[in-house]
Structures are given as C-alpha cells and as structure tokens.
Amino acid sequence: MFDPNSITGKFRQMGLGTYSITLLLITAVFKTSLSEEIIFRGFIAKRLVSIMGFVKGNVLQAALFGIIHTLMFALITTNIFFLLVIFIIPSIGAYVSVYLNEKIGKGSIVPGWISHGLANIIAYGIVGFVI
C-alpha cells in the first residue's frame, strides 16, 4: 500500500493537490471500479447466480473477489489479521454490489459501480493522503 510503485504510494508521493485528486477520482472510478464491476459482477456473478441461485452464486463471487484482493497483499505481508481484513471487506462490498445491481438496479452494474467507486475513493484517499 505504501510502496512508491503502488497506486496509493504514487498518490502519497504526489501530495494532496488538484492533479492528484483528479487522478485519484479517475483511477478509483474508472480504472479500478468499472473494470472490476464488469468482470466480477457483469460476467462472473451473473453466471454464478443464474447457475447456483442468488445467495450461493453471490457468496461465491464475493469470496472470489476477496481472494483476489487477499492474494495481492499476500505477496507483501504474512500478517494473518491484515489478510483476513483484506479478504472480508472486499467480499462484503462485492456481495452488496450484486445485491444493489440485481435487487435495486434491475440487473444493471451501475449501482454496484457507484458504491464500489465511492469505496475506492475513500480507501485510496485514506491510504494515499491520511495514513
């Protein structure tokens, strides 16, 4: 998270300013959130839910999403508590995204994309500029 080559590490190096905030918003909303929503909720979740039902399919896609995020951090730490938190938070967010998409958005990924984008803006901002 603090590595100068990571997204948040680069924000930290740039400092808080108009350019870094603009870049953070574009990265959080389009580069990260939109691509993950298309892949995980637009493709994976829709197929799993149609095969397994809403709850089982949603839990499986959420677990996969959490595992992918955990594996990224497992390369830099062996702290089990930290890795568990990194698994749980994205998994809950992924489950909620599918709920929003299917139950409120009538199948659209836009509600999940908005919530995911907001979560990433907060996370990138805290790690990049506050911690």
The torsion region of residue 96 among left (phi > 0), alpha (psi -120 to 50) and beta comes to alpha
Evaluated on CA atoms 99, 100, 103, 108, the torsion sign reads: negative
Out of 11-15, 63-67, 68-72, least confident range: 11-15
Residue 67 host element (H or E): helix 54-74
Q: What is the pLDDT of residues 9-32, one digit of tens each?
A: 777 777 778 888 888 899 999 999
pTM for this entry: 0.85
Q: Nearest to residue 116, comparing CAs of 29, 26, 11?
A: 29
Q: What is the pLDDT of residues 50-61, one digit of tens each?
A: 999 999 999 999
